[in-house]
Chain A
Amino acid sequence: MNTPQTVFEQLHTAYQPMVMQMCTGFVKGDRDIAADLSQEVFINVWNALPGFRSESSHKTWIYRITVNTCLQYIRKSKNKTRLPLEHAGTVTETPNTEEERASSLMRSIGQLENVDRLIIMMVLDELEYEEIARVMGISENNLRVKIHRIKLRLKTLMKDGE
């Protein structure tokens, strides 16, 4: 029988890497804050689980909770001291290792606007545009225009970071 605990365990196991990755990108690569934020996402998942009505897939539903929790984090963290982006470790040479390339990508994503950051991470996660539009609650056309602009901006940021 699928108890709420079993369903939650399955969701946690299946989506934890995705959630952690989105949170890491959102908090500009800070893995400690990302771990806390990722926990907050799953606490929200547990609390919202009784209200899940199968109108969307579990995947879309968890993306929604992740995006909204990340956006709520901006308000919750506004009074905390934040590490300025330039102190997060700037790579001056061309990133070589996989880890350096990943952290260069995270830093570039971190320079985008909050909503753009979340959208591009879902694109990188290869979520269908239709699904991303359903997560964000905006039209697919609006989303396509946004994604085009964000990709151009990200390309510039990646070049500047090299």
Chain B
Amino acid sequence: MENEFDDLKSIWRSAKKNPGHLTVSTADLIRHAESKKRSSIVTHYANMGVLTAVAIMLALAFYFWFPFREVLSRIGIGLMIGGLLIRIVIEAYSVRKSKIVKVSDTTAEATENTIAFLEFRKKVNGPVTYGIVGLYIVGFYVLSPEWSRYISTSALVLTDVGFLFGAIGMTWLIRGGIRQEMEDLQIVADIKNQLRNDS
């Protein structure tokens, strides 16, 4: 078997002499790497930025344009903004946690760390996000009693029903995210099993 394998090594060596596609220069690669790093940072923080902007806009709106007076309404506002703030903190923690996955670690370490990160993401995208969306929905609907004094019943029904559709759409998006995380987790778990086999 060793002789046959030596033949394969020689085929492998010959193929290596003709690798093809050696057109990208080092300078271009560095430029590409730097621009990718920048866009990755932007992507990481964009989500947090959007959530922060929404939280600020809601706070301003409730302070200047819709100053609810009743305790129940204020609890609702607290639930809506509080849920968003929790999500922003979780996103920041998630960005930090993603840094444990290092591409220069051994395959076993990188696999373990990726699994730990994906398990965390699964929790964040699953129960935690559903919980936060739940808080947001409850928060919105407890505003309705006071809200109903300022707008017509038809406008209130329209707002509440419209919000319900928004919540359904949000849940559908969350489910997609969870499915994605589960698929990734399965792939990395398979790699871990392949590494463990034969040991």
Q: What residues make up the interface of A, taking CB atoms closer than 8 Å to B?
A: 5, 8-9, 12-13, 16-18, 20-21, 24, 31-32, 34-35, 38-39, 42-44, 46-48, 51-52, 61, 64-65, 67-69, 71-72, 74-75, 78, 98, 101-102, 105-106, 113-116, 118, 121, 124-126, 134-139, 142, 145-146, 149, 151-152, 154-155, 158
Answer whether residue B162 sits at the interface, using C-beta atoms and an 8 A cutoff: no
A29 CB, nearest partner CB in chain B, Å: 10
By the criterion CB–CB under 8 Å, are A68 and B110 in contact? yes
- Beyond A31-B20, A68-B103, 5 additional contacts (C-beta under 8 Å) are A20-B19, A52-B104, A64-B103, A72-B103, A102-B14
By the criterion CB–CB under 8 Å, are B102 and A48 in contact? yes
By the criterion CB–CB under 8 Å, are A116 and B194 in contact? yes
Answer whether residue B26 sits at the interface, using C-beta atoms and an 8 A cutoff: yes
By the criterion CB–CB under 8 Å, are A51 and B102 in contact? yes
- 21 CB contacts below 8 A, A to B, read A5-B26, A5-B30, A18-B16, A43-B32, A64-B103, A64-B104, A64-B106, A65-B103, A68-B103, A78-B184, A102-B12, A105-B12, A105-B15, A115-B107, A115-B195, A118-B107, A135-B107, A136-B107, A137-B106, A137-B195, A151-B1
- In the bound assembly, the distance between CA atoms of A5 and B33 in angstroms comes to 12
* Residues from chain A with Cβ under 8 Å of B21 in the complex: 20, 31-32, 34-35, 38
Q: Which of A47, A105, A149, A152 contacts B11 (CB 8 A)?
A: A105
Answer whether residue B36 sits at the interface, using C-beta atoms and an 8 A cutoff: yes
Contact with A along B40-68 (1 / 0, CB 8 A): 00000000000000000000000000000
- In the bound assembly, the distance between CA atoms of A137 and B4 in angstroms comes to 28
Q: What residues make up the interface of B, taking CB atoms closer than 8 Å to A?
A: 1, 4-5, 8-9, 11-12, 14-17, 19-22, 24, 26, 29-30, 32-33, 36-37, 102-111, 183-184, 187-188, 190-191, 194-195, 197-199
Q: Which of B24, B32, B195 contacts A138 (CB 8 A)?
A: B195
- In the bound assembly, the distance between CA atoms of A151 and B7 in angstroms comes to 13
* Residues from chain A with Cβ under 8 Å of B111 in the complex: 71
By the criterion CB–CB under 8 Å, are B14 and A124 in contact? no
Secondary structure at the B interface, as helix, strand, loop or mixed, is helix
- Ranked nearest first, the 5 interchain pairs of A and B with the lowest CB-CB distance are A137-B106, A137-B108, A35-B21, A115-B194, A102-B15
- In the bound assembly, the distance between CA atoms of A14 and B12 in angstroms comes to 17
* Residues from chain A with Cβ under 8 Å of B183 in the complex: 78
By the criterion CB–CB under 8 Å, are B11 and A102 in contact? yes
By the criterion CB–CB under 8 Å, are B33 and A47 in contact? yes
A100 CB, nearest partner CB in chain B, Å: 10
Name B199's closest neighbour in chain A (CB-CB): A142
A23 CB, nearest partner CB in chain B, Å: 10
By the criterion CB–CB under 8 Å, are B16 and A21 in contact? yes
* Residues from chain B with Cβ under 8 Å of A47 in the complex: 33, 37, 103
Using A46-B29, A78-B183 as known contacts, say yes or no to A21 and B19 having CB atoms under 8 A apart: yes
Using A39-B32, A124-B9 as known contacts, say yes or no to A146 and B108 having CB atoms under 8 A apart: no
- In the bound assembly, the distance between CA atoms of A105 and B12 in angstroms comes to 8
* Residues from chain B with Cβ under 8 Å of A44 in the complex: 103-104
B39 CB, nearest partner CB in chain A, Å: 12
A104 CB, nearest partner CB in chain B, Å: 8
